């Protein structure tokens, strides 16, 4: 559910980062520092979120619901953005990613309860890792300026978000699966775009870069989980 509610915020990030995109093809010292800090914070946040999700599963915590999810996510995102240039911003990133881990727990629990649920979850994790590493590696080595992807991703996110809402309100499983497949492509593109944006100096704040990549990974995992869960039920 969180995957479907947060996409309407992403087009602002894409639009702003495209506007700031540098024309260089070689990563300078400042970009290396941002990339290093981003990957370090991202790895810590992924671990923390996984721990929170594991605790949510172990204690069978209930799903927070759409209202709490919306208020929690957008409230924490607002605070992260406000304090992104201060030390408090790092702590708020952990709060945000921890909250997302909590919302992920009930989702993973649902799929674990299905036949071959453990295999489904592990396959989704492996697929997420492979896609992230592949997209990141390409973004690091390519000499191409990928800022042109910003507009296409913006439109794709908006269309997919509207379709996701339609799938929820009208209870259309086929549309929901189609949206999940589209989200896999969109999130893969976002990882590529966001990493290239860091490399080329378009993103200079590692706190916001971490949040962008984390949300892309989160959505990629949940989308793969839904697709694989459907396949394994057949």
Three-class DSSP labels, 33-73:
HHHHHHHHHHHHHHHHHHHHHHHHHHCCCCCCCHHHHHHHH
- Name the phi and psi angles at 205, rounded to 5: -110, 110
Residue linked to tokens 């492509």 = 185
What is the domain extent for residue 123?
Answer: 2-233
CA pair distance 7, 180, nearest whole angstrom? 13
Q: Could you give the number of structural domains in the chain?
A: 1
pLDDT of residue 214: 97
pLDDT of residue 19: 43
Q: Using an 8 Å Cβ cutoff, are 136 and 191 in contact?
A: yes
**Distances in Å between the alpha carbon of 142 and those of 72, 181, 195, 222?**
37, 26, 11, 28
pLDDT of residue 207: 97
CA pair distance 81, 74, nearest whole angstrom? 10
CA torsion angle 151 152 154 156 (round to 10): 170
CA pair distance 197, 40, nearest whole angstrom? 17
CA pair distance 186, 79, nearest whole angstrom? 26
CA pair distance 45, 101, nearest whole angstrom? 10
Q: Using an 8 Å Cβ cutoff, are 27 and 196 in contact?
A: no
CA pair distance 6, 172, nearest whole angstrom? 20
Q: What is the pLDDT along the chain (234 residues), one digit of tens a residue?
A: 545 444 545 544 544 444 444 444 457 788 999 999 999 999 999 999 999 999 999 999 999 987 898 899 999 999 999 999 999 999 999 999 999 999 999 999 999 998 889 999 999 999 999 999 999 999 999 888 888 888 898 898 889 878 877 877 777 888 888 999 999 999 999 999 999 999 988 899 999 999 999 999 999 999 999 999 888 765
pLDDT of residue 160: 85
pLDDT of residue 1: 53
**Distances in Å between the alpha carbon of 172 and those of 20, 82, 166?**
39, 38, 8
CA pair distance 81, 185, nearest whole angstrom? 26
Gyration radius of the chain over CA positions: 17
């Amino acid at each position: 559910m969180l995957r479907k509610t947060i996409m309407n915020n992403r087009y602002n990030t894409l639009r702003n980062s495209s506007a700031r995109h540098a024309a260089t093809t070689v990563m300078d010292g400042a970009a290396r520092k941002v990339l290093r800090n981003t990957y370090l914070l991202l790895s810590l946040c992924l671990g923390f979120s996984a721990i929170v999700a594991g605790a949510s599963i172990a204690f069978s915590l209930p799903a927070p619901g759409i209202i709490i999810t919306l208020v929690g996510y957008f409230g924490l995102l607002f605070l992260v953005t406000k304090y992104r240039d201060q030390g408090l911003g790092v702590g708020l990133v952990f709060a945000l990613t921890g909250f997302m881990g909590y919302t992920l727990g009930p989702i993973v629990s649902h799929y674990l309860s299905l036949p071959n649920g453990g295999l489904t979850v592990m396959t989704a994790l492996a697929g997420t890792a492979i896609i992230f590493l592949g997209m990141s590696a390409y973004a690091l080595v390519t000499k191409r300026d990928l800022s042109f992807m910003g507009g296409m991703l913006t439109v794709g996110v908006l269309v997919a978000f509207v379709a996701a809402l339609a799938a929820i309100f009208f209870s259309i499983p086929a549309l929901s699966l189609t949206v999940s497949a589209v989200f896999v492509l969109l999130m893969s593109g976002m990882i590529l775009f966001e990493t290239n944006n860091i490399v080329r100096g378009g993103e200079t704040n590692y706190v916001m870069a971490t949040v962008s990549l984390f949300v892309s990974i989160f959505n990629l995992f949940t989308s793969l989980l839904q697709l694989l869960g459907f396949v394994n039920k057949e």
